């Protein structure tokens, strides 16, 4: 009898431990990010139509600044190794002044319905595209897509039609999406927070409130870069509302002894650490493909995580400086080998119109400083110290691992954080800005992800 009692108590303890672990979620962050004190009156929850508009005075000021740009001669044969090469930058600026048609691009931006609504004291801008037609008896799947830095909602303009009207693009009609693409507060046409401490959990809470306001009790999320963290946080806040989480970039901030051992020995014993051959190819030699990349490519992150306003003030005052700062990321983050080219390989994957449209969103909205502050708000407390970094994600997760992403995270590492990975694919080509660079590849991966049967989540001790 005593044995049975101990077994029963043990079972209850195990159940209590695992169920508590399984149900732990990230608290919703109900902040106030508007100016001054939060008013006692109820916040206006109306959703208002929005269109991108630019006054002639703004364009005249832009062209004046472009005409007065002062360029620095690059070092001989330096290509993009020192950053944006000013020889090519001159060509970009010349195109910007003489051929780029911002008014035409504004029409492109306004071809999809855009809106604003006030949440937690600030105006949130978002694109909301419904399917042009639905087969009888079929409902659209709500999909929240979140950009990163130095991108914008415009990154998704090429993938939106593939998701809202997949049949017209040869992708079938089994899954059709209703797509919502918000601008992160402080980016693009979303109002910047007026108070400190607006981090990824804050953004996730705002976007959760946005989706509920639009009437979506259940929805999918997708993101890369900052969007990866925000969507991950949203899945941690509201796991019963997020039906699936799709990422084209994964961040793992909590590394333990198994990770360190896999770094030391994974190249020689990949199977022992759950590595596949492609993981080994993308990760090793580790010093070159991880440590060197961090040292050579993440200086910007240290600046933005410490004193973003200092460099931001200069970028906000100079359109040429802003272009140089952003274009360098679209070069090296698309393919590190592009650093060996004088033109940074920029037009191998993107058109100048697309690149300049993204830059213009930063310029006309004046958001570069507030977008850079997002790094400080997320990193100033240290890496691996915040609650969301310690919690797992149990929402069904799909990961598209693009080969030219800055750092490769193997599934063996990712599953420690994302315990319910139902889809992990090594993509054949593409880099950091996947939705803009390879919209069809990304769309196909999202479509196959939502088609997967969902297994029960794994509970980790």
Residues tagged active-site:
225, 375, 432
CA pair distance 164, 415, nearest whole angstrom: 30
Q: Which two tokens stand for residue 376?
A: 């400080």
Q: Which two tokens stand for residue 258?
A: 């198994």
Q: What dihedral do alpha carbons 198, 200, 201, 206 form, nearest 10°?
A: 70
Burial bucket for residue 256 (CB in 10 Å: 0-12, 13-18, 19+): exposed
> Between the CA of residue 299 and those of 34, 81, 83, 292, 306, what are the distances in Å?
31, 13, 11, 12, 11
Q: Is the peptide bond before 234 cis (omega within 30 degrees of 0)?
A: no
361 and 150 Cβ atoms separated by less than 8 Å: no
Stated as kind and residue range, the H or E segment containing 20 is: helix 2-23
CA pair distance 222, 247, nearest whole angstrom: 6
Beta-carbon-side half-sphere exposure of residue 267 (alpha carbons within 13 Å):
10
- Per DSSP, 418 falls in state B
CA pair distance 60, 220, nearest whole angstrom: 42
CA pair distance 114, 347, nearest whole angstrom: 28
CA pair distance 395, 243, nearest whole angstrom: 7
449 and 398 Cβ atoms separated by less than 8 Å: yes
Q: Which residues pair with 418 in a beta bridge?
A: 393
Q: Which residues pair with 144 in a beta bridge?
A: 180, 221
CA pair distance 196, 224, nearest whole angstrom: 24
The rounded Cα 234 to chain-centroid distance in angstroms is: 13
220 and 214 Cβ atoms separated by less than 8 Å: no
């Amino acid at each position: 009898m005593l044995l049975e009692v101990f077994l029963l108590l043990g079972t209850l303890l195990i159940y209590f431990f695992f169920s508590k672990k399984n149900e732990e979620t990230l608290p919703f962050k109900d902040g106030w990010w508007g100016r001054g004190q939060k008013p006692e009156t109820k916040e206006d929850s109306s959703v208002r139509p929005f269109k991108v508009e630019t006054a002639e005075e703004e364009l005249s000021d832009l062209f004046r600044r472009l005409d007065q740009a002062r360029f620095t001669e690059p070092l001989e044969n330096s290509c993009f190794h020192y950053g944006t090469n000013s020889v090519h930058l001159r060509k970009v600026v010349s195109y910007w002044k003489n051929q780029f048609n911002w008014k035409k691009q504004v029409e492109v931006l306004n071809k999809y319905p855009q809106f604003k609504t006030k949440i937690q004291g600030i105006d949130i801008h978002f694109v909301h595209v419904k399917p042009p037609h639905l087969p009888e008896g079929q409902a659209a799947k709500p999909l929240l897509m979140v950009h990163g830095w130095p991108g914008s909602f415009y990154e998704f303009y090429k993938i939106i039609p593939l998701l809202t009207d997949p049949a017209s693009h040869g992708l079938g009609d089994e899954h059709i999406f209703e797509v919502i693409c918000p601008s992160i507060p402080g980016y693009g046409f979303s109002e910047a927070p007026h108070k400190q401490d607006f981090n990824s959990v804050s953004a996730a809470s705002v976007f959760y409130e946005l989706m509920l306001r639009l009437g979506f009790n259940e929805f999918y999320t997708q993101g890369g870069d900052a969007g990866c963290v925000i969507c991950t946080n949203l899945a941690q806040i509201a796991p019963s509302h997020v039906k699936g989480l799709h990422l084209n970039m994964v961040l793992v901030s909590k590394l333990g002894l198994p990770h360190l051992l896999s770094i030391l020995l994974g190249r020689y014993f990949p199977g022992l650490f759950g590595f596949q051959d492609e993981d080994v190819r993308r990760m090793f030699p580790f010093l070159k493909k991880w440590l060197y990349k961090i040292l050579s490519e993440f200086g910007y992150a240290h600046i933005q995580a410490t004193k973003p306003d200092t460099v931001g003030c200069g970028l906000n005052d100079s359109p040429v400086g802003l272009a140089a700062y952003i274009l360098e990321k679209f070069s090296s983050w698309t393919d590190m080998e592009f650093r060996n080219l004088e033109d940074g390989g920029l037009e191998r994957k993107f058109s100048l119109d697309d690149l300049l449209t993204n830059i213009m969103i930063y310029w006309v909205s004046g958001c570069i400083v507030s977008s850079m502050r997002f790094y400080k708000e997320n990193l100033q407390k240290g890496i691996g110290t915040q609650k969301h970094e310690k919690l797992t994600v149990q929402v069904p997760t799909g990961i598209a691992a693009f080969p030219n992403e800055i750092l490769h995270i193997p599934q063996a590492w990712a599953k420690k954080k994302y315990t319910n990975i139902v889809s992990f694919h090594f993509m054949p080509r593409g880099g950091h800005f996947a939705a803009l660079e390879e919209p069809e590849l990304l769309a196909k991966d999202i479509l196959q992800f939502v088609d997967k049967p969902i297994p029960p989540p794994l509970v980790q001790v």
